[in-house]
C-alpha cells in the first residue's frame, strides 16, 4: 500500500531551503555524452477541443529513454494524449550545449514556449534580460501541486516568481560495492580513509573517483563540501560570497582549498578529469572503470536504468561525503538545495497553451509522482512511497531524513552570473596550476565586484 511521504522526511526536505535563497548550477542532469539531437513528440490533428498548436520545449535531458529524460518525455506524452490538438517539439541538448544555446535564445528573443532553467545566477540572467515570464505563486498552492515549503526561493527575484523546481538535490558519493569488495578496500567514512582508498585503487590500475572537471561546478561544490566538513558551518562561505565577511576571515576556507588541491595532486580524480564533462564522467563510473562518483541525488535513477549493466546496478551504493578528523562538520550535514526546474518564456507565440502545459507538467501527479515511482529523482513536491523503492532510493531517503543541517544553496551560484564564472574559473586554476592563497584572493575579488 502506498503511503504519503512522512512528516519527518518532508521536514528534512524543507530544511534545504532554510537559507534565504537556494541556488545551484547543476540542477538535475542526466546527460549522455552521445546525446544532443532534438526529439519530437507529435499529436493528432485537432479533435475539436481547440485549434492545433505547436509548442517548443527546450531541455537539458537528451536521453529520453531513461532517467529524468524519460520522466520528462512521459509527462509530455501524457499531455498530448489528453490534448490531441497540441504538438510539442522537444529540443534536448547535453548540459554545456544546452547552456550555450539557451544564452543564444535569450539574446535573440527566440520564441521558445517552456524551457528547463538552472536557478540562481543563470536564471537571474534570463530574468534580467526580460526573457522569462513571471508566475503567480498562488497558482501553485494546495494539493494539486504539493510543493514543499520554501522551494520557490531559488526561483524568486525581487519577490517575484519566475520558475518552478523539479527536484530536491543534495551531494553524495555513489560507489561500486563490487570494486571495493573485490579489492579488499574499505568504503571510506573519513577523508583519510578516502585518500587511502584512492591510493589503493590507483595501485590496482582503477580510477578512484570520476569527476566532470570540465564543467567546473562540481569541483566548486566539492570545495564547499570540504569547507563545511572543516568548520561545521553551512553559512560561512555563503556570507563571504554575499560580502558580509571576507573569505580570509575563515581559515577553514583556505584549508579547504589546500585539501581540494590535494585531491588533484594525489590523483583521487580520474585521469584527465579536467577535460571530462558530465556524461563522460558518468559513463566512466557506470562502466565500472571508476570506484566512485561525486554527484547529486538526482542520479538515483542509475539504480533502475535498464540500459546500464545489471552488475553495475546490483552493486550501486551511496555514501555521504567523508568527515575530516578534527573538523566540526558531521556526515549528516548536507550540501543540499532545490535543483533545476522549468520556466515559461515571454516570447512564446502561444502563451496560454504554454501555461496549460507547464501547469500540467508541474502537477504533483505528473513530474513528482513519475520521478519517484521510477526511482529517477527526489522531487521538490510531496510524494508517496510505493514500497517498491530501490536500495539507492532508500539510502538517499535515509540520508535526507537524517540531515542535521543543509546549505540551502551552492556558493558558486549564490551571487551574480559574473561571480559564478569567476569562482568556478578560480577552482579550475587552483586544481591545475594555482595556489590556495591565490584562490582565496580570486574569490574575494569576485565577491567584491558584485
Q: State residue 26's pLDDT score.
A: 38
Tens-digit pLDDT profile for residues 151-166: 887 899 999 999 999 9
Same domain, 394 and 248: no
DSSP code string of 175-198: EEHHHHHHTT-PPPSBHHHHHHHH
Same domain, 216 and 346: no
Same domain, 155 and 273: no
Instruction: Specify the number of domains making up the chain.
Output: 2
Q: How many CB atoms lie within 10 A of CB 98?
A: 23
Q: State residue 91's pLDDT score.
A: 98
Same domain, 22 and 76: yes
Same domain, 146 and 235: no
Tens-digit pLDDT profile for residues 433-444: 999 999 999 999
Q: State residue 23's pLDDT score.
A: 30
CA distance 433 to 224: 20
Lowest mean pLDDT among 35-44, 293-302, 310-319, 394-403: 35-44
DSSP code string of 316-341: EEEEPPPB-TT-S--TTEE-EEE--E
Same domain, 236 and 114: no
Domain stops at, among 391, 406, 421: 406
Q: State residue 378's pLDDT score.
A: 85
Same domain, 149 and 174: no
| 412-448 b/e (C-beta count within 10 Å ≥ 16 → b) | bbbbbbebbebbbebbbebbeebebeebbebbbebbe
Same domain, 69 and 182: no
CA distance 165 to 145: 11
Lowest mean pLDDT among 328-332, 414-418, 437-441: 414-418
Q: How confident is residue 376, by pLDDT bands cut at 50, 70 and 90? A: confident
Q: Cα 269 from chain centroid?
A: 20
The secondary element (H helix, E strand) that includes residue 430 is helix 417-432
State what percent of residues in the chain have pLDDT above 70. Answer: 89
Mean pLDDT of 128-155: 92
State how far the alpha carbon of 414 is from the alpha carbons of 24, 220, 310, in Å: 7, 12, 39
Residue predicted with more confidence, 169 or 33: 169
- Answer yes or no: are the C-beta atoms of 436 and 51 closer than 8 Å: no
* Residues contacting 269, CB < 8 A, separation 6+: 208, 209, 210, 211, 213, 263
Q: How confident is residue 73, by pLDDT bands cut at 50, 70 and 90? A: very high
Q: How confident is residue 12, by pLDDT bands cut at 50, 70 and 90? A: low
Task: Give the pTM.
Answer: 0.80
Identify the CA nearest to 39 among candidates 82, 12, 74, 14.
Answer: 74
- Answer yes or no: are the C-beta atoms of 178 and 236 closer than 8 Å: no
Residue predicted with more confidence, 272 or 121: 272
CA distance 110 to 102: 9
Q: How confident is residue 222, by pLDDT bands cut at 50, 70 and 90? A: very high
Same domain, 96 and 112: yes
The chain-wide mean pLDDT, for the chain, equals 89
Q: Where do we find the cell 573519513?
A: 190
Tens-digit pLDDT profile for residues 271-325: 999 999 999 999 999 999 999 999 999 999 899 899 999 999 999 999 999 999 9
Q: State residue 5's pLDDT score.
A: 47
- β-sheet bridge partners, residue 56: 89
Tally the C-alpha atoms within 13 A of residue 382's C-alpha that lie toward its C-beta.
18
Q: How many CB atoms lie within 10 A of CB 143?
A: 8
Mean pLDDT of 4-12: 51
Q: Where do we find the cell 536564471?
A: 123
Same domain, 190 and 159: no
The CATH number covering residue 23 comes to 3.40.190.10
Q: How confident is residue 15, by pLDDT bands cut at 50, 70 and 90? A: low
Residue-range definition of the domain harbouring residue 327? 170-336+411-448
Mean pLDDT of 178-188: 98
Lowest mean pLDDT among 185-194, 353-362, 376-385: 376-385
Same domain, 161 and 234: no
Same domain, 126 and 258: no
Amino acid at each position: 500500500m502506498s503511503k504519503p511521504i512522512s512528516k519527518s522526511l518532508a521536514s528534512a526536505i524543507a530544511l534545504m531551503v532554510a537559507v534565504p535563497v537556494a541556488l545551484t548550477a547543476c540542477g538535475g542532469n542526466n546527460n549522455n555524452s552521445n546525446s544532443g539531437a532534438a526529439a519530437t513528440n507529435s499529436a493528432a490533428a485537432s479533435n475539436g477541443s481547440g485549434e492545433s498548436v505547436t509548442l517548443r520545449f527546450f531541455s537539458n535531458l537528451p536521453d529520453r529513454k531513461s532517467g529524468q529524460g524519460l520522466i520528462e518525455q512521459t509527462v509530455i506524452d501524457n499531455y498530448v494524449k489528453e490534448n490531441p490538438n497540441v504538438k510539442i517539439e522537444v529540443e534536448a541538448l547535453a548540459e554545456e550545449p544546452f547552456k550555450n544555446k539557451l544564452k543564444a535564445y535569450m539574446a535573440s528573443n527566440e520564441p521558445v514556449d517552456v524551457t528547463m532553467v538552472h536557478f540562481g545566477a543563470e536564471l537571474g540572467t534570463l530574468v534580467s534580460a526580460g526573457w522569462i515570464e513571471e508566475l503567480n505563486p498562488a497558482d501553485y498552492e494546495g494539493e494539486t501541486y504539493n510543493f514543499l515549503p520554501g522551494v520557490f526561493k531559488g526561483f524568486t527575484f525581487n519577490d517575484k516568481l519566475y520558475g518552478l523546481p523539479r527536484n530536491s538535490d543534495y551531494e553524495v558519493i555513489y560507489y561500486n560495492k563490487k570494486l571495493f569488495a573485490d579489492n579488499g578496500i574499505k568504503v571510506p567514512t573519513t577523508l583519510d580513509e578516502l585518500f587511502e582508498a584512492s591510493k589503493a585503487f590507483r595501485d590496482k590500475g582503477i580510477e578512484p573517483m570520476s569527476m566532470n572537471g570540465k564543467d567546473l561546478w562540481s569541483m566548486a561544490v566539492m570545495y564547499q563540501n570540504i569547507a563545511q566538513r572543516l568548520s561545521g558551518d553551512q553559512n560561512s562561505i555563503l556570507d563571504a560570497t554575499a560580502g558580509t565577511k571576507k573569505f580570509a576571515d575563515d581559515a577553514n576556507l583556505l584549508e579547504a582549498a589546500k585539501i581540494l588541491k590535494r585531491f588533484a595532486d594525489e590523483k583521487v580524480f580520474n585521469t584527465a578529469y579536467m577535460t571530462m564533462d558530465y556524461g563522460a564522467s558518468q559513463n566512466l563510473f557506470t562502466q565500472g572503470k571508476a570506484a566512485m562518483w561525486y554527484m547529486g541525488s538526482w542520479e538515483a535513477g542509475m539504480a533502475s536504468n535498464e540500459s546500464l549493466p545489471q552488475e553495475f546496478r546490483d552493486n550501486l551504493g551511496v555514501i555521504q561525503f567523508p568527515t575530516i578528523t578534527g573538523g566540526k562538520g558531521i556526515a549528516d550535514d548536507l550540501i543540499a538545495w532545490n535543483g533545476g526546474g522549468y520556466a515559461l518564456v515571454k516570447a512564446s507565440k502561444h502563451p496560454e497553451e504554454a501555461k496549460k502545459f507547464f501547469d500540467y507538467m508541474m502537477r504533483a501527479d505528473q513530474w513528482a509522482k513519475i520521478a519517484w515511482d521510477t526511482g529517477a529523482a527526489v522531487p521538490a513536491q510531496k510524494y508517496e512511497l510505493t514500497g517498491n523503492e530501490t536500495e539507492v532510493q532508500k539510502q538517499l531517503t535515509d540520508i535526507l531524513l537524517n540531515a542535521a543541517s543543509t546549505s540551502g544553496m551552492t556558493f558558486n551560484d549564490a551571487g551574480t552570473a559574473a561571480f559564478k564564472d569567476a569562482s568556478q574559473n578560480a577552482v579550475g586554476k587552483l586544481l591545475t596550476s594555482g595556489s590556495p592563497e591565490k584562490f582565496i584572493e580570486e574569490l574575494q575579488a569576485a565577491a567584491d565586484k558584485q
